[in-house]
């Protein structure tokens, strides 16, 4: 039984070909491309409004140099949000429950922000490793601690997204299994458990949206330190 609970996180394959590539590319197919007409339909209007609001809120604290990342981070937000939401549908696979995918997104983007900081303002970038006014005996220790915290950032990004989505999917499956088991034995308890399952599903929808936003928001904060 415990093995079957974790089977949902295994990457599906067909004829030995991993289908995670289909799951990753599917969100881009679902979003319509804005036409050249002045008048658009409601879906494109809502999509454009959401992206504009998100971009405006995310890049307001950044200077002009950081605005070059607007297209990349907005696309990443839409990508993660779509994958997380599609993963809540029955009989679907969520690629963002794989730590390898999340680390593959987090490490290059975090490394790019560090390289930009080292290239554009090396003194300020290295100054983050040593807070101002540090006593002299604590300087070596603080440099080591700040360096470790710097390299932990991409790991925290990937693990946070993976752990939150994995925990939510496991809870939904556990409670759904309890509903099916209790329904013929204790119908009243099963109905109460189904209500909890419904509320948990709503919570997971919120978690799917929040975690996508937090992932991109933290990247923008790392970028803000280096531009």
Q: What is the pLDDT of residue 195?
A: 92
Torsion of CA 21, 22, 25, 29, to 10 degrees: 170
What value does the CA radius of gyration of the chain take, rounded to a whole number of Å? 22
1 assigned to some structural domain: no
Per-residue pLDDT of the chain (227 residues; tens, 9 = 90+): 445 666 666 777 777 777 777 777 777 777 766 667 666 777 778 878 888 888 888 888 777 777 888 888 888 988 899 889 888 888 788 888 888 889 999 999 999 999 988 888 888 777 777 777 778 887 888 888 888 988 999 999 999 999 999 988 889 888 988 898 888 888 898 899 999 999 999 999 999 999 999 999 999 989 888 87
Give the model's pLDDT for residue 134. 75
Inside any domain, residue 36: yes
Is residue 2 one of the residues assigned to a domain?
A: no
Q: Do 27 and 83 touch, CB atoms closer than 8 A?
A: yes
Q: What total number of domains does the chain contain?
A: 1
Alpha helices in the chain (DSSP H): 2-6, 20-30, 42-59, 70-86, 99-120, 122-127, 139-182, 187-226
pLDDT (0 to 100) of residue 136: 81
DSSP state of 17: E
Domain of residue 98, residue span: 7-226
User: Is residue 19, in this structure, part of any structural domain at all?
Assistant: yes
The pLDDT assigned to 153 comes to 92
Residue whose entry in the numeric block shows the structure tokens 């394959």? 13
- pTM of the full predicted structure? 0.83
Closest CA to 169 of 102, 114, 118, 94: 94
Token reading at 48: 């454009």
Report yes or no on 182 lying in a domain: yes
Contact 200, 172 (CB under 8 A): yes
Asked if residue 25 belongs to a domain, the reply is yes
| 31: CB partners within 8 A, 6+ apart | 47, 78, 82
Which phi and psi (to 5°) does residue 118 adopt? Answer: -65, -30
């Amino acid at each position: 039984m415990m093995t079957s609970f974790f089977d949902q996180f295994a990457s599906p394959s067909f004829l030995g070909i991993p289908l995670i590539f289909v799951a990753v590319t599917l969100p881009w197919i679902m979003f319509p491309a804005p036409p050249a007409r002045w008048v658009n339909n409601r879906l494109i209007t809502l999509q454009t409004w959401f992206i504009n609001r998100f971009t405006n809120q995310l890049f307001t604290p950044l200077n002009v140099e950081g605005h070059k990342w607007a297209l990349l981070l907005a696309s990443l937000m839409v990508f993660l949000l779509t994958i997380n939401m599609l993963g809540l549908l029955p009989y679907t696979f969520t690629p963002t429950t794989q730590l390898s995918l999340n680390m593959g997104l987090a490490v290059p983007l975090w490394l790019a922000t560090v390289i930009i900081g080292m290239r554009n303002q090396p003194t300020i970038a290295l100054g983050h490793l040593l807070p101002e006014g540090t006593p002299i005996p604590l300087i070596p220790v603080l440099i080591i601690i700040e360096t470790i915290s710097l390299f932990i950032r991409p790991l925290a990004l990937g693990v946070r997204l993976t752990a939150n989505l994995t925990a939510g999917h496991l809870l939904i499956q556990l409670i759904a299994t309890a509903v099916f088991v209790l329904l013929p034995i204790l119908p009243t308890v099963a109905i109460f458990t189904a209500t909890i399952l419904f509320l948990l599903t709503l919570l997971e929808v919120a978690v799917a949206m929040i975690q996508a936003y937090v992932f991109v928001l933290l990247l923008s904060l790392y970028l803000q330190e280096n531009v």
